Structure formats: structure tokens, C-alpha cells
């Protein structure tokens, strides 16, 4: 389970890795579901929302909880108590739905993901620290179903301003190597919890299988403002069919997300 050592590593370095968090039977079920999802998307049978490397060649598959995929294990996975307990340890007791998607290697070309942070691209130094010093409102994790050496981060970069080299990289040259970059090497079943405020990238080779389930929970706040515009990546979740297919335990978290959408 999550320890003070994990919490301290997350606050200092921006990530930590846990072994054997998912029981073998659930791991096997999740892996099989991910392989079915990838096969359906590549065959053109289902496309809820997919990020394509080239036409017909996906690298990120969203919509996993949409009933079009017919895979209820993904909702069960989101509700798995050890994940929720970990998120509560960092964000407090009240949560709302985050996201879940499948990261996979394209088959036709390598996919050299560029360095970025999941914040404004080029804020001022003062604005940058204002953002980085805010409480954690989104807590994410990766579960690799096969060995995964794709995720790279710059440890500790979620706590400080960018260096001049890092700023040039994020703004102008996102594919260069950085001096302090670290590859997070994951074996199947290990779980990496990491901060999107770190400088990070994901690189994939067409010749190396990637099958990694990415997910998050978000902090629920009574004063959270409605979004100005619905994120196109999640518009599919507004459908009545999606809510109707969710297990009862997930509905309160879904409804908290839905209430923030400008619809």
C-alpha cells in the first residue's frame, strides 16, 4: 500500500512505483479487455475517441467505459479501492471522475512524443510557480500490461521553474534529450503514479509492443467553476448511453464531472 516514503518521493521527484497493487485475476481480465479494445479500434469496429499516429494507426484510445466497447471491467478498475485510497491520500476524501485510456504503440511508424507539462505551454516565471504550487487536483497512474519503457520525466521539475534549456525545449525543440531525464522502466503489473506537472514525454517504437492503461481521479471541490467549453476528448461521456451503462457506485463521481460541463 501507499507509505510515507511513497508520498515523500512523489512530492520530491514527482513519481513513485508500486508493485503488485492489482490481483492476478483482475490483471488478466484487464489485459484481455485492453487487447480486445485495441483490436476493435484497429479493425475500425469501434471509435469513441481515438488519437491516431496515422490514419487507422492509434496510439491513445479513449472511451473505454463507453458501452460500445462492452468492457465493464474498466469501470470496475476505476473503482478499485487501492487506487481510490491512493488518490484520497493525496487529494482528500472527495473525488470526481477523472479519465481512463489505453496507450499503445502505432504499427506503421515510431511515435516520438515531445517534452511537455500538462499546464500552460509558456507561462511567466511567476505564473509558472503559481500553477505548480497549487494543491493537487488530478492524480494519475499507469498500469503496464506488458513491459513499458516509454515514459520519461525530469524528476523534481514539478517543484521549480524551468531552466533556460528546458524552456527552449518545451517551446521550440520538444524532441531533444534533457540532462536530468529519467526513463521509468515498468514491468507488467507495476503501477507508476506520477505528476503531469513534471516535464515529461512518452516515446513509442513501432517494433516494441506497448499496452499501458492510463487512469486518473480528480479532486471534487464545491467551488470548482464550470468549464468554459466541453473538452472534445470527453464529449462522448455526455451521452445518456454512457451514464446508463455505469455501475451504481461510479454514478456519483460521474455526476460530479457532468455538473461541471457547459451543456
Indicate the pLDDT class of residue 60, thresholds 50, 70 and 90: very high
For residue 4, give every residue at least 6 positions away whose Cβ sits within 8 Å of its Cβ, in sequence order, or none: none
Q: Where is 87: in which H helix or E strand?
A: helix 81-91
CA distances from 14 to 39, 140, 256 (A): 33, 11, 27
Give the pLDDT score at 174.
97
**Taking 80 as the threshold, does the pLDDT of residue 263 lie above it?**
yes
Average pLDDT in the 207-226 region? 96
Helix (H, G, I), strand (E, B) or coil at 95: strand
List pLDDT tens digits, range 91-130. 999 999 999 999 999 999 999 999 999 999 999 999 999 9
Tell me what pLDDT residue 235 has. 97
CA 250 – CA 21 distance, rounded (Å) = 20
Residues 21-38: tens digit of each pLDDT: 999 999 999 999 999 999
Distance of CA 115 to the CA centre of its chain: 15
Residue 15's pLDDT is: 98
| Tens digit of each residue's pLDDT (9 = 90 or more) over 158-201 | 999 999 999 999 999 999 999 999 999 999 999 999 999 999 99
**Residues in the chain, overall count:** 263
CATH T-level fold of 4-219: Jelly Rolls (2.60.120)
Confidence of residue 1 (pLDDT cuts 50, 70, 90): confident
At 99 the three-state DSSP class reads strand
What residue has cell string 524551468?
162
Mean pLDDT of the chain: 97
Q: Is the pLDDT of residue 9 over 80?
A: yes
pLDDT at residue 102, rounded to an integer: 98
DSSP assignment of 45-63, as one string?
S--SEEEEEETTEEEEEE-
CA atoms within 13 A on the CB side of 15: 23
What pLDDT was estimated at residue 206? 96
User: What band does 254 get if pLDDT is binned at 50, 70 and 90?
Assistant: very high
Residue 143's pLDDT is 98
Residue 136 banded pLDDT, cuts 50, 70, 90 = very high
Q: Has residue 83 got a pLDDT over 90?
A: yes
The domain ranges of the chain are 4-219
| pTM listed for this prediction | 0.96
Q: ∠ CA 27-104-249 to the nearest 5 degrees? A: 45
pLDDT at 36: 98
The residue whose grid cell reads 481521479 is 217
Question: What H or E segment, with its residue span, contains residue 138?
Answer: strand 138-144
Q: Is the pLDDT of residue 2 over 90?
A: no
Amino acid at each position: 500500500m501507499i507509505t510515507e516514503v511513497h508520498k515523500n518521493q512523489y512530492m520530491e521527484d514527482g513519481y513513485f512505483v508500486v508493485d503488485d497493487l492489482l490481483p492476478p485475476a483482475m490483471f488478466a481480465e484487464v489485459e484481455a479487455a485492453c487487447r480486445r479494445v485495441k483490436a476493435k479500434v484497429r479493425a475500425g469496429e469501434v471509435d469513441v475517441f481515438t488519437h491516431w499516429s496515422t490514419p487507422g494507426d492509434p496510439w491513445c484510445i479513449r472511451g473505454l467505459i463507453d458501452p460500445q466497447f462492452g468492457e465493464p471491467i474498466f469501470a470496475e478498475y476505476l473503482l478499485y479501492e487501492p487506487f481510490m485510497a491512493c488518490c484520497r491520500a493525496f487529494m482528500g476524501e472527495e473525488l470526481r471522475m477523472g479519465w481512463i485510456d489505453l496507450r499503445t504503440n502505432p504499427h506503421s511508424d515510431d511515435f516520438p512524443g515531445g517534452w511537455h507539462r500538462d499546464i500552460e505551454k509558456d507561462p511567466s516565471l511567476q505564473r509558472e510557480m503559481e500553477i505548480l504550487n497549487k494543491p493537487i487536483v488530478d492524480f494519475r497512474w499507469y498500469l503496464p500490461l506488458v513491459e513499458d519503457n516509454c515514459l520519461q520525466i525530469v524528476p523534481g521539475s514539478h517543484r521549480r521553474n524551468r531552466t533556460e534549456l528546458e524552456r527552449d525545449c518545451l517551446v521550440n525543440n520538444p524532441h531533444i534529450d534533457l540532462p536530468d531525464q529519467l526513463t521509468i522502466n515498468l514491468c507488467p503489473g507495476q503501477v507508476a503514479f506520477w505528476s503531469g506537472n513534471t516535464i515529461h514525454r512518452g516515446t513509442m517504437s513501432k517494433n516494441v509492443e506497448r499496452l499501458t492503461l492510463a487512469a486518473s481521479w480528480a479532486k471534487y471541490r464545491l467551488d470548482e467553476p464550470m468549464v468554459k467549453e466541453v473538452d472534445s476528448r470527453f464529449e462522448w461521456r455526455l451521452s445518456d448511453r454512457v451514464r446508463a451503462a455505469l455501475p451504481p457506485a461510479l454514478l456519483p463521481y460521474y455526476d460530479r464531472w457532468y455538473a461541471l460541463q457547459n451543456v
